Structure 1
Amino acid sequence: MSWFEIFLTGVGLSMDAFAVSIGKGLSMKTFNKATALTCGLWFGIFQALMPLAGFMLGFRFQGVIRSIDHWIAFVLLALIGGNMIREALSGEDEEASDAVDVKTMFILAVATSIDALAVGITYAFLNVRIAPAVCLIGVTTFVIATGGVAVGHLFGKKYEQRAEIFGGVILVAIGLKILLEHLFFGG
């Protein structure tokens, strides 16, 4: 898996955090850099920790399911991406609150990073160098989530649905690429 693909995965995974960050920005009467950076840190850290945890789980069971790893990667990424697209099209709102307290941010960070756990499992099967990958995903999410607070403050809910759909499409496309590479090119 190339660094560009890992970056795109990070972009796709960060779309839930971006949507929640937009909600944070919507609730702000005036833009607050500290709030934007705090949201970015919470989401970035959890988006980095969850694939690491998934990688550790996947690595442990790698020998058992090596022959079907490409199917697992495809199914997990397609389900995650498809769910993101479904949620965006259904109009379900992410829960967001004005507070940037530890309890609220912990819940939001965990909720928006569950998908990254599954991605980490696929990384174990693909033998991705996990330390640089999770750093890239974490930094990407930090930047996107921090920007999401600003976007939310400036533009409101106008682009929230498009961001979710875009993230879902990226994850499904990467899953399909992994499957096709393995089936047709022995990747």
Structure 2
Amino acid sequence: MDATYIIGELLTLAAMAFALSMDAFSVGLGMGMLQLRLRRIAVISFLTGAFHVVMPLAGMMIGKVLSVHFGNVAVIVGGLLLIFIGGTMIHSSFHDNKDKSFIEPYGIGLIIFCMTVSLDSFSAGLSLGIFGARVLVTVLLFGFASTLLTMTGLLIGKKFQNLFGTYSELIGGSILIAFGIKTLLLMI
């Protein structure tokens, strides 16, 4: 494989990982207002990262099966899925959803938080499985980005409260829509 192609794929996957982790960052900003201890911030961040590894991995496995059976139709569906996920993120950035920011980060509340912010990674994993993306690289980038952005959001939220939340989801959704459109244009 050409080195330029590999670098392009890595940059694309890194941008997607960043975009999909923006909701964890946003929710972390709000949750950071709870004045969590650093140990709790680390637990929340690493568990969120683990969910961002498991969810896209499951999606990629299902996506690979779909691509074998449905070919180009699956690629189109994958592009539309990315556009849908991005649109959903943008839509939620314009609606004040207080409940999402104040899930208690303990016990079942922590699991619900991690599951909620990683659901879009499952859908993206489904699309990436259809496209045949590199599994290990993808899940490691998703896990790393979500761990880092969750921790960053919690720490910033602890200091500055909910300053950037809306804009980060808006940016993340826009990036996913751009990748979805790029995918559909490549089919033409």
Q: TM-score, normalised by structure 1?
A: 0.90
1:112 aligns to what? 117
Within the alignment, does 1:4 sit opposite 2:48 as a pair? no
Q: Which runs of 5+ in 2 are unaligned?
A: 1-7
Per-residue CA deviation, residues 92-143 of structure 1 (Å, 9 max, x unaligned), is 2352447432311111111111111111111111111111210111001100
SS across alignment from 1:111? helix
Q: CA separation in 2, counterparts of 1:126 and 1:32?
A: 41
Q: Is the 8 A contact 1:21 1:39 kept in 2?
A: no
Q: Which residue of 1 aligns with 2:150?
A: 145
What does residue 132 of structure 1 align with?
137
Q: CA deviation at 1:23?
A: 1.6
- Runs of 5+ consecutive residues of structure 1 not aligned to the other structure: none
Q: Is the 8 A contact 1:38 1:100 kept in 2?
A: no
Identity over aligned pairs, percent: 25
Q: Deviations over 1:138-182 (max 9, x none)?
A: 001100100000111121112110011011011111111122123
Show the counterpart of 2:85: 80
Asked if the contact 1:84–1:168 (Cα under 8 Å) also holds between the matched residues in 2, the reply is: yes
Partners in 1 of 2:99 and 2:152 — Cα distance? 17
The count of residues paired between Structure 1 and Structure 2 equals: 181
Q: In the alignment, which residue of structure 2 is the partner of 1:171? A: 176
For 1:60, the equivalent position in structure 2 comes to 65
Q: Is the 8 A contact 1:44 1:140 kept in 2?
A: yes
Instruction: State whether residues 103 and 109 of structure 2, in contact with CA within 8 Å, keep that contact through their aligned partners in structure 1.
Output: no
| TM-score where L is the length of structure 2 | 0.90
